[in-house]
Amino acid sequence: MLPDVLPGPDDPPLRVLFCGINPGLVSALTGHHFARPGNRFWPALHASGFTPRRFSPAEQDLLPSLGLGITNVAPRATARADELDDAELVAGGERLRELVAEVRPAWLAVVGIGAYRVAFADRRAAAGRQERTLGDTGLWVLPNPSGLNAHQTPATLAAAFRELREATG
């Protein structure tokens, strides 16, 4: 299991908790989220204005000082997210509800529409802001930044991340 990146007592309040689907094999090996070469999370985070420069996965611990964090829906590392079964995603949704209740981010941003739909039993969800909330925490769905997701370009990913940043202040 890859540890969550969460704020400490000296960090600002958690604005956005980004939630990957599950760790890839490179992330599990390195201990860093979104670590596979070709993953576009870190470039999109910077291009959208969430970070002042492009961070490397090894710099993930800088995120809490910006009011940002990272977790995953499912803890099991796989080569591809489609190797997870629905039961793992549903269990991950339950864990996310508990984590959100504990750390109270302003927003939970799930990067992967399919994982969100299964984890939150919302088969009709679309990318963007969701109507439902988890208590006071808003829900947002972003495209999967994996390099395996050919439907998204770096520019469209940055635009989706920017829309979240602009909505969250």
Q: Which residues contact 53 (CB under 8 A, 6 or more apart)?
A: 46
Mean pLDDT over residues 18-38, rounded? Answer: 94
CA 6/CA 26 separation, integer angstroms: 21
Mean pLDDT over residues 51-72, rounded? Answer: 97
Question: Using an 8 Å Cβ cutoff, are 108 and 11 in contact?
Answer: no
Query: What percent of the chain has a predicted confidence (pLDDT) above 90?
Result: 87
- The per-residue pLDDT for range 87-123, each reduced to its tens digit, is 999 999 999 999 999 999 999 999 999 999 999 999 9
Q: Number of helices (H) and strands (E) in the chain: give both, helices first.
A: 5, 5
CA 169/CA 163 separation, integer angstroms: 10
Which pLDDT score is estimated for 104? 97
- Residue 101 Cα distances to 136, 150, 160, angstroms: 9, 34, 26
- pTM attached to this predicted model: 0.95
Question: Using an 8 Å Cβ cutoff, are 7 and 67 in contact?
Answer: yes
